[in-house]
A and B are shown apart, each in its own frame.
Chain A
Amino acid sequence: MPSIRVPSALRTFTGGNADVETTATTVRDAIADLDRRHPGIAARILDGSGAVKPFIRLFVGADEIGSLAGLDTQLTDRDEMSIVPAIAGGSDRA
Chain B
Amino acid sequence: MTHAPVRATIVGAGGLGGPIALSLGAAGIELTIFDHDLVELSNLHRQIQFTAVDLGHPKATRLAGLVVSRGGKARGVVAKWRTPSELDGELAEYVAESDLIVDGSDDPETKFAVAGWAVANGRQYVIAAALRYGGNVMAGVPGVACYRCLFEEPADVPSCAEAGVLGPVVGAIGGAAAAIALGIVRGQRGLAGALLAFDDLRSVAEPRILKFAPRPGCPACMRAPISPLATPLRIAEGEPS
Chain A residues near B (Cβ < 8 Å): 5, 7-9, 18, 44, 54-55, 57, 59, 62-64, 66-67, 82, 84-94
Contact = CB atoms under 8 A, between A and B. Distances in A.
Given A91-B17, A92-B37, 10 more contacts: A57-B195, A64-B213, A84-B195, A88-B158, A89-B158, A90-B15, A91-B15, A91-B104, A91-B170, A93-B160
Instruction: Give the 10 A-B CB pairs with smallest separation, nearest first.
Output: A91-B14, A54-B152, A87-B129, A89-B160, A90-B106, A64-B212, A86-B151, A55-B155, A54-B153, A89-B131
Interface size of B as a range: 35 or more
Contacts of A84: 136, 195, 197, 210
Interface string B1-33: 000000000001111110000000000000000
Contacts of B105: 90-91
B134 A7 contact: yes
Q: Which of A63, A84, A89 has the most CB of B within 10 A?
A: A89
A64 B211 contact: yes
B53 interface: no
Contact of A62 (B136, B154, B210): B210
B157 A55 contact: yes
Interface stretch (B65-73, B91-99, B161-169): B161-169
Contacts of A86: 108, 111, 129, 136, 150-151, 153-155, 157
B82 interface: no
B208 A82 contact: yes
A70 to B, nearest CB: 12
Q: Which of B136, B155, B158 has the most CB of A within 10 A?
A: B155
Contact of B130 (A18, A54, A59, A89): A89
A62 B211 contact: yes
B47 interface: yes
Q: Which of A54, A87, A93 has the most CB of B within 10 A?
A: A87
B104 A62 contact: no
B200 interface: yes
